[in-house]
Amino acid sequence: MDLAAFRPATHSMQTVSVSFDYPVLFSRDCLASDDPSLAWALSRLRPDRRHRFVVCIDANVLAARPSLVAELEAYVQVHSSVLELHAAPVVVPGGEDCKNDPALVQHLLQTFAAAHLDRHSAVVCIGGGAVLDAVGYAAALVHRGVRLVRVPTTVLAQGDGGVGVKNGVNAFGAKNFLGTFAPPFAVINSGRWLEHLPVRDIRAGLAEAVKVACIRDAGFFDWLEAHASRVTTPGADLDHAVRRAAELHLEHIRTSGDPFELGSARPLDFGHWAAHKLEVLSQHGLRHGEAVSIGMQLDARYSERTGLLSSAQLLRLTRLLAALGLPRHQEILNKKINGQPAVLAGLEEFREHLGGELTVTLLQDIGRGVEVHALDTAVIEQALHWLATPGEVLVEPRA
Ligand SMILES: NC(=O)c1ccc[n+]([C@@H]2O[C@H](COP(=O)([O-])OP(=O)(O)OC[C@H]3O[C@@H](n4cnc5c(N)ncnc54)[C@H](O)[C@@H]3O)[C@@H](O)[C@H]2O)c1
Ligand SMILES: [Zn+2]
């Protein structure tokens, strides 16, 4: 039977459209009593009544700011006409481990059930991208989704994952194997959190800013080059970098036409096919942003070797990442499986995660990504070899 010629007799195509709105606020310190962001975000749809919420806090954020719970309670007191903190804060172990622990999701679900959250209650999550992903996943499952207010506390989460529409946990050896598309109710980015963040995590978060600059905004790339020595210290420059990265990610989600990633393309995932694999191969010893730094240099070198990108632009990228203190090579890149670089398996896993046709973003210029549907493994192996050899002299002219 010729399926192309088939026309169903009774045609009842169901079309469902749902639009989502969520504010992303930028503030200095959302727990300061004179900062209305959090109270407004929680009560914005019904400012005439009190809103119950449960708060989940990244354990490392709490350790870095031990007065956090007292500050939060004082904040709720000041805004008691609209806020009602339900139950004690839930402290969630920070970092990638929380996404690897199925018992944590279970624990969160039980906590939300015990708190009798309804679909108009909220979960406020204060933490890094990993805690936001795990808590967001649990919040999306309860009653098929309760309101989630994200308060991202890392550079990466404020500029990238925390402002987006996804959540997820790792399972069966694969990153983000379980997860949902669930736009948050609101996001509040406060620069104050970044003052507690270890410099390693600041650097790692800036890798995503470099990434989005590479594929979308040459002017932002120039700015990062000019501010590389200052941007790793908390303050106005770092706040600017985070804000610009967030804006570029938000613009993409708003205008790409595919916020729930139904197609095979993932234009913002420059450097990510290798990065995801490297994170797993390193047993999450590498930060996501560190893996992205390596993945971007691999794909930029590939772009340069295949004639897409000039050697001068590749050099700018490697220099900027080095200036930000981000890695170019890790021993893990030498790992082989059946004589092949282990990282290569990341390509098929990336395709599988996206579904459909392999789509990888390469670089055509600083500020301009380009999608391709096949990569030559021999060229990838050459690029891997280049990564392993230190020094920028390696950016030799193309033969
Ligand atoms: N959902 C998405 O769209 C999306 C997008 C990009 C990345 N991600 C995910 O985000 C995760 C990485 O997030 P991340 O880079 O924020 O790292 P992270 O959440 O692992 O945080 C890094 C470390 O810093 C700690 N920390 C967080 N905030 C702190 C603060 N203010 N002060 C002191 N310590 C603090 C954390 O506990 C952790 O130990 C990965 O799991 C990645 O897959 C998700
Ligand atoms: Zn990323």
Substitution candidate for ligand 1 out of 156, 163, 181, 287 with most atoms within 8 A of CB: 156
pLDDT of residue 182: 98
Per-residue pLDDT of 335-344, as tens digits, reads 899 889 999 9
Residues in the chain: 399
pLDDT of residue 162: 97
Q: How far is the CA of 202 from the centre of ligand 1 (A)?
A: 10
pLDDT of residue 392: 56
Mean pLDDT, all residues of the chain:
94
Q: What is the largest CA-CA distance in the chain?
A: 70
Q: Which ligand has the nearest atom to the CA of 58? A: 1
Substitution candidate for ligand 1 out of 104, 288, 353 with most atoms within 8 A of CB: 288
The arithmetic mean of pLDDT across residues 12-38, rounded, is: 94
pLDDT of residue 216: 96
Structure tokens at 90: 């839930």
Helices (H), 52-119: 59-64, 68-78, 102-114
Percent of the chain with pLDDT strictly greater than 90: 82
Separation CA 272–CA 92 (nearest Å):
27
Full-model pTM:
0.94
Strand partners, 81: none
Separation CA 347–CA 156 (nearest Å):
23
Per-residue pLDDT of 233-283, as tens digits, reads 999 999 999 999 999 999 999 998 889 888 877 888 999 999 999 998 998
pLDDT of residue 353: 80
pLDDT of residue 391: 65
Tell me whether residue 307 is exposed, middle or buried, using C-beta atoms within 10 angstroms of its C-beta: 0 to 12, 13 to 18, 19 or more: exposed
Separation CA 327–CA 204 (nearest Å):
9
Q: How far is the CA of 130 from the centre of ligand 1 (A)?
A: 5
State yes or no: pLDDT of 94 exceeds 80.
yes
Per mean pLDDT, which range of 5-9, 63-67, 103-107, 157-161 is the poorest? 5-9
Per-residue pLDDT of 138-196, as tens digits, reads 999 999 999 999 999 999 999 999 999 999 999 998 888 999 999 999 999 999 999 99
* Nearest alpha carbon to residue 299 among 326, 332, 291, 202: 291
For residue 392, give every residue at least 6 positions away whose Cβ sits within 8 Å of its Cβ, in sequence order, or none: 315, 318, 319, 322
State yes or no: pLDDT of 399 exceeds 50.
no
Percent of the chain with pLDDT strictly greater than 70: 97
Q: Which ligand has the nearest atom to the CA of 126? A: 1
Task: Verify whether ligand 1 is closer than 6 Å to residue 159 (CB atom).
Answer: no
Q: Which ligand has the nearest atom to the CA of 208? A: 2
State yes or no: pLDDT of 362 exceeds 80.
yes
Residue 396 banded pLDDT, cuts 50, 70, 90: low
Per-residue pLDDT of 364-386, as tens digits, reads 999 999 999 999 999 999 999 99
The arithmetic mean of pLDDT across residues 81-86, rounded, is: 95
Q: How far is the CA of 157 from the centre of ligand 1 (A)?
A: 6
